[in-house]
Structure 1
Amino acid sequence: MTGPETRTVAGSRVVETAHSAEVSGARLHYWTAGAADRPGIALTHGAGADHRMFDPQIPALVEAGFRTLRWDVRYHGASASGTGRFRTVYAADDLAALLDAARMVRPLVLLGQSMGGNISQEYLRRRPDEVAALVVIGSTSSTLPITRRERRGLALSRALMRLVPYRRLTRSMALASAEDAGAREYLRETFAANGRRAFLTTWDGMTRAIDPSPGYRVEKPELLICGEHDGTGNIRSAMERWSERDPHSEFHVIPGAGHVANLDRPDEVNRLTVAFLKA
């Protein structure tokens, strides 16, 4: 009888263990690194990507004393066997099930990029006592009010995404999301591998994640990160408003980075993240 599969994270000596769990009709895959008794941090990737988008972050976080869990969200990567509608609230429940399966110490830190930031926010709203802090990269607030024009734009994007040939869509989205050539190639690869149906299902759910909640405040420490060249929607202005709303929030713009700042400028994102978590 063999034990769980292990591997070293690219470019490091950190050993990561692969796991999977049956959750609400789908087998979801996740990876852990670091000692079981260390404080935890769960990393959730953006739409169309997979757990590998955090390859540059795992060694830095483990070496800083954390136990990490990263996963492929339903409809993505090794968890591609998704069924039914996609909603961030369902994904937050999926994450909770994986954290239970991994016996992650709580409260823990949630780190999310783009869609992963929305999933992390949903988890925090539903389970505030389980969250110690929030780190968000290139994502809008799920709870800030949006204009009628912004709401129409989200609805329009759902229709337009279905009209554009998928190969052209993957190329244009990779180009718009990353400044680094390697990051662009990674995104093109994952967008293509996940496929059109999975992407459109995810996009539909992600654009419905906004739930304006006047008076809501996050009372946890928050690190909000945006790439200098992030031109995807209104993310930079939305993150600025977000940081002004919440009392324990800090906002940083990463020079030379795009939407996937953690891939474009990993050293700077790692430095900010570790310093924030150690403060």
Structure 2
Amino acid sequence: MTLSHDVAGDGPTIVLLHSTVCDRRMWDPQLPALTSAGYRVVRCDLRGFGDSPMPDRPYNNADDVADLLDELGVEQAAFVGASGGGRVAIEFAARMPQRTTALALLCTAVADHEPSERLRAFGDQEDALLEAGDVAGATELNVTAWVGPFADDATRDLVRRMQRHAFEVQLAPQEEEHGSVKHDVDLAAVTAPVLLVSGEHDFADFHDIAVRLNKQFAGSRHVHLDWAGHLPSMERPEELNPMLVDFLRETVPAR
């Protein structure tokens, strides 16, 4: 299955990988900034999000992204990943470093992180609501947890719609359940330059992840935003976009 996707602009390829609270629509505020800066932008929906259905066979997100790039004739790309999308970008960069030109990781997750008590409590509460059939309650829980205090109502509403849709797709009866295929990820194999962004109003886990990765990735840079929650690219794109474009121009100059 090919991931649902869209492509815009010309120049070096930038792949945008969404948070697992969202889908590729989360990147609407970045699309004009990146294309006008001289980049070709690929946005995709991971399986079970947006317009990509649940998998019909065992799958791996990083392999799905590699297959999509093969289909588009893209040999190398830079990645901008948010949260769970960052985790996918890290795996791609570790397993396929020759295809990865840069990584911008926004409040990224990472495969080997042990969640804090607060993050585990969130997960337990979400599970309880979904098991009780309260999809609306689980959706509101996610909006409250992940959207920062300075986001506007339109941003909250979009996150609400994206999360609700993801729940509906993922909870729909399936003929057969297919899990993801896990690969060992060696962070030392990542060779691309890395920008790490964390937010003051996010779960502390994601600041801790950024601090740890900044020590592990050679030549990386960590920026902590005092205004941001978990989704800074949506909450204040006017502040996030210049930072993102500057990093890409330094590492993957547009032609």
Q: TM-score, normalised by structure 2?
A: 0.82
The aligned residue for residue 93 of structure 2 is 124
Corresponding letter in the other structure for 2:162: T
Give deviations 1:188-237, integer Å, cap 9, x for gaps: 1111122256179xxxx79x979675x73632200111122112x51112
Equivalents in 1 of 2:208, 2:116: separation in Å? 16
Matched, 1:241 2:206: no
Select 1:136's aligned residue among 94, 100, 105.
105
RMSD: 3.0
Equivalents in 1 of 2:200, 2:120: separation in Å? 26
Identify, as 1 or 2, the structure richer in strand.
Answer: 1
Select 1:94's aligned residue among 64, 69, 72.
64
CA contact (8 A) 2:195 2:222 kept: yes
How far did 1:251 drift?
0.7
Select 1:273's aligned residue among 223, 240, 244.
244
Q: Any stretches of 5+ residues in structure 1 without a counterpart?
A: 1-22
How far did 1:141 drift?
3.1
CA contact (8 A) 1:178 1:260 kept: yes
For these two proteins, the number of residue pairs brought into alignment is 239
* Cα 1:157–1:83 shift into 2, 3 Å: farther
CA contact (8 A) 1:47 1:199 kept: no
How far did 1:118 drift?
0.6
Helix, strand or coil at the partner of 2:42? strand
CA contact (8 A) 1:142 1:211 kept: no
Aligned pairs for 1:1-279 within 5 A: 23=1, 27-35=2-10, 38-83=11-56, 90-104=60-74, 106-142=75-111, 146=113, 150=115, 160-164=125-129, 165-179=134-148, 180=151, 181-196=153-168, 198=170, 216=188, 218-231=190-203, 234-279=205-250
Equivalents in 1 of 2:123, 2:53: separation in Å? 21
Q: Any stretches of 5+ residues in structure 2 without a counterpart?
A: 173-178, 251-255
Overall identity of the aligned pairs, in %: 28
CA contact (8 A) 1:191 1:199 kept: no
* Cα 1:63–1:212 shift into 2, 3 Å: closer
Equivalents in 2 of 1:97, 1:211: separation in Å? 19
* Cα 1:194–1:234 shift into 2, 3 Å: same
Helix, strand or coil at the partner of 1:49? coil
How far did 1:107 drift?
2.1
Equivalents in 1 of 2:183, 2:144: separation in Å? 25
How far did 1:122 drift?
1.1
How far did 1:157 drift?
6.5
Equivalents in 2 of 1:97, 1:46: separation in Å? 20
CA contact (8 A) 1:45 1:115 kept: yes
Corresponding letter in the other structure for 1:187: V
* Cα 1:73–1:212 shift into 2, 3 Å: closer
* Cα 1:83–1:155 shift into 2, 3 Å: farther
* Cα 1:118–1:187 shift into 2, 3 Å: same
